[in-house]
Amino acid sequence: MANVLVVTSGKGGVGKTTSTAALGAALAQAGERVVVIDFDVGLRNLDLVMGAERRVVFDLINVVQGVAKLQQALIRDKRLENLWLLPASQTRDKDALTDEGVGRIIAELRTKFDWILCDSPAGIERGAMLAMRYADEAVIVTNPEVSSVRDSDRIIGMLDSKTVKAEQGERVTKHILITRFDPARAARGEMLSIDDILEILATPLLGIIPESQDVLRASNVGSPVTLNNAASAPARAYTDAARRLMGESVDMIVPAERRGLMNRLLGRRAA
Amino acid sequence: MGATAEATRQLVRMRGRSYVAFVFTPEIPILGWLAEIDATLARSPGFFVGKPVVLDLSALDLSGAAITHLVGNLEERNIRVLGIEGVDAEKLTTSMPPLLTGGRSCVITRTEPATEPAEKPEAKPKPTSLLLESPVRSGQSIVFTDGDVTVLGSVGSGAEIVAGGSIHVYGTLRGRAMAGVNGNSSARIYCQKIEAELLAIDGYYQTAEEIDASLRNRPAQAWLQGATMKITPLN
């Protein structure tokens, strides 16, 4: 039973592509057959984060328009053999996507994969609408700040009204993934707290990804953070989130401020 | 004499006019087809009463006698055949309905016969309130000018509720609420927690900046006192 999962947010730059790659790789590591699709036509990034940018021949638009077969456009990951990428076109724009074409591709992928992860572009226009159109589940990526949370709220409203599931009277299963969470700033009250975010969005939490240099480092070398440094804090948080997606119950770890011995001594002295 | 007779003679005037008729296409076996007609009549008696009916026999090869028999059978069911289509003219005798040609198909707008008035569904009074059981998300706009709106959940920042009557929010009101938009100055806005961007009643409004900070995050109501909007805590 294939699961179509859209990774979306409304706002740009919150970590949709990073999260798609990290969750996709974590699911594939757990033995699931996974394909990640880049819906950001014209501004593609997922191929870079996955480290597959030098192997792109055909893309999503070619398949939508019937120029290439799905098998020709799918790129197999070099590290995980059950992880595949369907890249976006960089030379076209979102108008090249059609509802019918996307529906056909998703239906075909459903027969071949366990998980179909759709990396949504930012915004609420055609690309984002078609990325969520056929979703069974949604991961809403949110940063702990008001603008991101409000945009997420807007996207949740659209998931409840504009998807095929919603039109059939069913519901898209929604999860909140909080990224770029900085425990030190949260402790100082400079960020929205986890409770505030969940209270505003009234949607279950999938995971909390701490702000970390490891994320940027992994992107730069073209590797999902869960593969690049599996022991790092963000990688562990993404792996836990992926396990929750598969239905396991995993304790939620709220990232806490790590203070060294010296810090603690200094802190005590200052107090 | 002859001239006067000429002057008073009425001319017979002929005009063409087309009408919509039901076209029946009987199928073999005819008895089975008649049973279908009976079933339709059982469901809605009087469905064909007073309606012009044309028989299209082009799919069948019936003798003159068989056609007479079929027309008779339909008449027994109170279905009067206006004309017959798709047979050779020589098969029809003068006592039979005339042969029709040149028919064009069209859409029949079904006006169901008025059955017993008792069965008629009573015209429901328009609902005067709207209940929303899920949160109203950012960007959503709920407009209900016929009465009150109740939300079991929060109203997100960037969402708006427009009501002809009062607005009740059993959650946090972070968006805009506009009550009494039809000029109802006695409409009120109630919410479990007030963080609204804008409150308006009958055109009088307050923005978030004007709402007293001490009210924030508390249950509150807003109402109109003359031309000023009052916002007070609920407990």
φ, ψ (nearest 5 deg) of residue A148: -65, -40
Q: Under a CB-based contact definition with an 8 Å cutoff, are residues B179 and B215 in contact?
A: no
Percent of chain B with pLDDT over 70: 85
Alpha-carbon distance B150 to nearest alpha carbon in chain A (angstroms): 18
Residue numbers in B near A158 (CB within 8 A):
137, 139
For chain A, how long is the longest CA-to-CA vector?
69
Q: Which residues pair with A175 in a beta bridge?
A: A139
- pLDDT for A260 equals 57
- pLDDT for B2 equals 46
Asked if B134 is an interface residue toward chain A (Cβ–Cβ < 8 A), one would say: yes
Instruction: With cut-offs at 50, 70 and 90, classify the pLDDT of residue B74.
Output: confident
- Please give the structure tokens belonging to residue B83: 């004309």
Instruction: With cut-offs at 50, 70 and 90, classify the pLDDT of residue A227.
Output: very high
Alpha-carbon distance B153 to nearest alpha carbon in chain A (angstroms): 9
- pLDDT for A30 equals 96
Query: Which positions ≥6 away from A249 have C-beta within 8 Å?
Result: none
Q: Under a CB-based contact definition with an 8 Å cutoff, are residues B18 and B62 in contact?
A: no
- Please give the structure tokens belonging to residue B6: 């000429």
- pLDDT for B8 equals 58
Q: What is the pTM of this model?
A: 0.69
Q: Over range B85-102, report the average pLDDT.
A: 78
Q: Tokens 């028989």 identify what position?
A: B55
- pLDDT for A271 equals 38
Of chain B, the end-to-end C-alpha distance in Å amounts to 106
Low-confidence winner among A41-50, A163-172, A207-216, B54-63 (lowest mean pLDDT): B54-63
Measure the CA–CA gap between B41 and B56, rounded to whole angstroms: 20
- pLDDT for A269 equals 46
Question: Over the Cα atoms of chain A, what is R_g?
Answer: 19
Alpha-carbon distance A205 to nearest alpha carbon in chain B (angstroms): 17
Q: Under a CB-based contact definition with an 8 Å cutoff, are residues A156 and A174 in contact?
A: yes
DSSP secondary structure code for residue A210 in this structure: E
- pLDDT for B41 equals 77
Write out pLDDT tens, residues B119-167.
556 678 888 899 999 999 999 999 999 999 999 999 999 999 999 999 9
Write out pLDDT tens, residues A131-151.
999 999 999 999 999 999 999
Write out pLDDT tens, residues B167-193.
999 999 999 999 999 999 999 999 999
- Please give the structure tokens belonging to residue B18: 């087309």
* Structure ipTM: 0.74
**Does position B19 have pLDDT exceeding 90, yes or no?**
no
Flag if A154 and B156 touch (Cβ within 8 Å).
yes
Of chain A, the end-to-end C-alpha distance in Å amounts to 57
Which of A188, A227, A225 shows the shortest CA–CA distance to A209? A225
Regarding predicted confidence, which is higher, B107 or A130?
A: A130
Regarding predicted confidence, which is higher, B31 or A220?
A: A220
Ramachandran region, residue B114 (left: φ > 0; alpha: ψ -120 to 50; beta: rest):
beta
Flag if B134 and A160 touch (Cβ within 8 Å).
yes
